[in-house]
Chains A and B, each alone.
Chain A
Amino acid sequence: MSLNFTLLGWSASGLRCPDHEVSLYESDISKTYPVTLIQMPNGTGKTTTLNMLRATLSGSAKNWKPDEVRELRRTGSYDKSGQFIVRLAIDNEPLTFELNFDFKEGKAFYRTSSYIGIEDGFSPRLRLRKFFTPEFVKLFVFDGELAKNLLDAKQTKARQAIESLFQLFVLKELENKFYSNWEKHAESATAKSDRALKRRKNRLEDLKKKRDKIQEEQQELHKQKTQLLSDIQEAQQEYESALSKDQNIGSQLQQIKIQFDQAEKYVIQSSEQAIEKMRDPHRLLPDFGIALKNLKDNLDRLKLPTSTSKEFFEELAEAEECVCGRKMDEAARQAVHERKKNYLEDDEVGILNSIKSDIATYCREDPIVPYQELKENLDSLGQLIRKRDELQTELYSLEEARLSQGDVELEMKKKRLDNLKEQLRQCNERLEEIERSPNSKIPENAICLRELDKLIQEAENDVAEATETLTLKLKTDIAIQILSQAHKLASEELRKIILEETNQKISQVLSRNPVLLEDIQDSLKLQGQVGASEGQTLSVSYAFLATLFNKSGCAIPFIVDSPALSLDLNVRSEVANLIPTLCNQFVAFTISSERQAFVDVLHQTVNEQVQYLTFFRKTSRMNALWKNVDPHQIQETNDGVIIKGKDFFDRFDLDKEL
């Protein structure tokens, strides 16, 4: 992870600060000054410039309200627009953010330029986005407020800085994504607990046990049925034999039995014939037969289907009049030719021929005949049934007469036979319920095997769904636990490393009066002290941020407001000595009172590679200050002047001059 982030400069126009352009490099962008000091007297727009740097680098102005935008307009100006541009190099690739203001509309717009072109909007490349957020930009466009906040126990700036730079927050984001994924699934899931799964498993188990039991019962019933049929046959023979012991009644029974069996046989045969005939619809209703015959006649008359249909349309196309009576013109003829294929395709021709053939086969000349045939068949069946029933009545009468003779053995045999028949009836009834087709609505207490199979299938699906849901929940919990523990572990490791390295740096800065860090939690905690001087606070904050940036492998510039203002004179020189070790590029906004014990030390520390800029408003009162300056050192706009060079920088003291 390495990234070289260089600030090349910025420019402002139409804003509360004077129009200006600051360049932070010498001849080309690879030769950036390690230190640039911009001396701006109070009232020059230092705060505006720093705010613009933060807004332009973070994309935060897109959410500004119209009043916030209009407040940036130059005082007393009627300019409709303003602009702030920041130029950067990321690993030597240029990147420019433009922040444009429309004061009339009260809106802020961004443009982003990089090696891939110019885009509307604030669009840093994906890998760079974490650096260009409001929170992160505050870490390197630095003011005294941040230094205080880092040590404020009520704030979480220190932890946020570590979270942000080392992207620990992404682990939390992924935790949330896992949780959302589970919630989304749980919305549609019907079972979310272990208890629900157990309940479903128990139901499935019960249903399977029930099916096994019913299957066993089914087998047992079939065996029982076979045995009953055999027993009934035997009992029937014994009963009939006992009945025949009275020879008179016995011979009558014998004869009637033969007649009954014959009659039963005729009933069955006649029923089958009647049912077969009833399958022909024209037998059920003479009008239907007449209509079918008419259909065939009409098809024949129209010479439909087969090749005659084609001829019909061809003839129609050549005829003087259409079948509807209208005159045939050329367009109509053409239309008939084109559309004839739309009618009577091969399969339609086949169906029509099949219908015609069936009508010819089954519907005779007189459509009433098939109807009468069926009627006669049904009448005959009725007579046969009546005859059979009469014979059965006779059989019952003879049986009754025989039984009334008081034959105990016969009664017992009769009772046994009836009992066996009742058992068979019950057996058949139960089997019928077990083996019947399933209904659409299945009760939970079903004994029908095919219904039970359906219930089991549903129960298996329920268990599968609940199991899947619980598996997902368990896996989600594990994923969240991994991320949570990893977050803690990484935070703790980073805390230890950064604490140690920050203390090493602090020892360098505050060698005379070191204030070491005891801990880094939400904020920085100083060892043995609840507070510290402003100088110590700033130094500790410098050291902490520098350690963070170095540790992350990112070379990030420090842009600092009033770096030495609050420092004791002896601390100033130490901080000035430290600055080159903190970062590759240091840009500071200063006022004249900060020069003492700071600027010269810094100048020496970076081997004189310091760019000195003095920036002030162009007013009539200020003209005397720069009238004798070499024009090459002057950069002038309509309302501001920047003077380059250490001599002017060192001499400049507005309070004294004015």
Chain B
Amino acid sequence: MKFGKEVYEAVYITVNDLNQPSSVADRMMKCLDELSGTNPDDISDYLETILEAIQINNYRQEDEELQ
């Protein structure tokens, strides 16, 4: 079961607001789709791909904290 557009939009907007690449949102939605269909015990591969896509240097909040 896919998510409604409100959830998709919310994820993509938030990812953009936090200055993360859209691949983070793509991978997150894939993972959410997987989780919504079932509740698999192990989604570590999905988590890993999301974490790989997340950029620390682009993270605005971190920059703000450092300042």
Contact = CB atoms under 8 A, between A and B. Distances in A.
A166 B59 contact: no
A268 interface: no
B4 A1 contact: yes
Given A1-B2, A168-B7, A181-B44, A478 B14 contact: no
A635 interface: no
A595 interface: no
A427 to B, nearest CB: 49
Interface stretch (A33-41, A170-178, A195-203): A170-178
Contacts of B2: 1
A490 B7 contact: yes
Interface stretch (A126-134, A292-300, A450-458): A126-134
Contacts of B13: 486, 489
Contacts of A552: 4
A481 B2 CA distance: 22
Contacts of B36: 130, 167, 170
B59 A478 contact: yes
- Range, interface on chain A: 35 or more
B10 A490 contact: yes
B37 A482 contact: no
Contacts of A130: 1, 36
A478 B43 contact: no
A490 B6 contact: yes
Contacts of B4: 1, 166, 494, 551-553
B45 to A, nearest CB: 11
A471 interface: yes
Given A486-B7, A493-B10, A479 B32 contact: no
A382 to B, nearest CB: 73
A485 B6 contact: no
Interface in B1-38: 1-4, 6-7, 9-11, 13-15, 17-18, 20, 24, 28, 31-32, 35-38
A357 to B, nearest CB: 62
A487 interface: yes
Contact of B1 (A1, A171, A174, A478): A1
A174 B35 contact: yes
A84 to B, nearest CB: 26
A501 B14 CA distance: 26
B62 A167 contact: no
Interface centre among B10, B18, B38, B47 (most CB of A within 10 A): B10
B15 A472 contact: no
Interface residues of B, number: 34
A479 B54 contact: yes
A472 B51 contact: yes
A474 interface: yes
Interface in A105-132: 126-130
A203 B30 CA distance: 42
Contact of A482 (B11, B39, B43, B47): B11
Contacts of A173: 35, 39
B6 A171 contact: no
Given A126-B37, A486-B7, A490-B10, A478 B31 contact: no
Given A1-B1, A173-B35, A178-B47, A478 B7 contact: no
A483 interface: yes
Interface in A453-492: 471-472, 474-476, 478-479, 481-483, 485-490
A493 B12 CA distance: 14
B56 A127 contact: no
A24 B28 CA distance: 42
Nearest to A478: B54
Given A1-B4, A129-B38, A174 B62 contact: no
A170 B6 contact: no
A174 B36 CA distance: 10
A181 B47 CA distance: 8
B3 A1 contact: yes
A181 B51 CA distance: 11
A472 B52 CA distance: 9
Contacts of A126: 37-38
Given A174-B35, A482-B20, A475 B54 contact: yes
B60 to A, nearest CB: 10
Contacts of A177: 35, 43, 47
Interface string A130-164: 10000000000000000000000000000000000
Interface centre among A168, A171, A474 (most CB of B within 10 A): A171
Contact of A478 (B9, B18, B35): B18
Given A1-B4, A479-B47, A551-B4, 11 more contacts: A1-B1, A126-B38, A166-B6, A166-B7, A170-B32, A177-B35, A177-B47, A474-B59, A482-B15, A494-B6, A552-B4
Interface of A: 1, 3, 126-130, 166-168, 170-171, 173-174, 177-178, 181, 471-472, 474-476, 478-479, 481-483, 485-490, 493-494, 497, 551-553
3 closest Cβ pairs, A-B complex: A490-B10, A489-B10, A486-B10
